[in-house]
Amino acid sequence: MQLISLVGFPLQKHRTTGLSRFCHRIIARLGPNDGTVALADAIRWPGVIYPVWGADHYFQPPERAMALIKSILFFLGETTGQLDS
């Protein structure tokens, strides 16, 4: 089994609430983050990490998340098919 983590990291324009701006500001000195997790910490997680620039912690905007998830599932389907042959 392979672990895949999609980690959203919003751009400044995606931080629309006071809470999101506050949380980001608190850990901004640690580098890119979603207001909860710093990218530097996330890349230490086991498995494959896909940082998603422009998507927030809840994967907004949803159209970006759907396109990314669809692409990853397609890739995994192709990879699994190659391994079974």
Q: How many domains does the chain have?
A: 1
Q: Which domain holds residue 59?
A: 4-84
Helix (H, G, I), strand (E, B) or coil at 61: coil
Q: Could you tell me the pTM of the whole model?
A: 0.61
Q: Please provide residue 34's backbone torsions phi and psi, each rounded to the nearest 5 degrees.
A: -105, 10
pLDDT of residue 85: 47
Walking along the chain (85 residues) 10 residues at a time, the average pLDDT comes out as 80 77 86 83 86 72 78 79 53
pLDDT of residue 61: 66
pLDDT of residue 76: 77
- Within 10 angstroms of residue 10's Cβ, the number of other Cβ atoms is 24
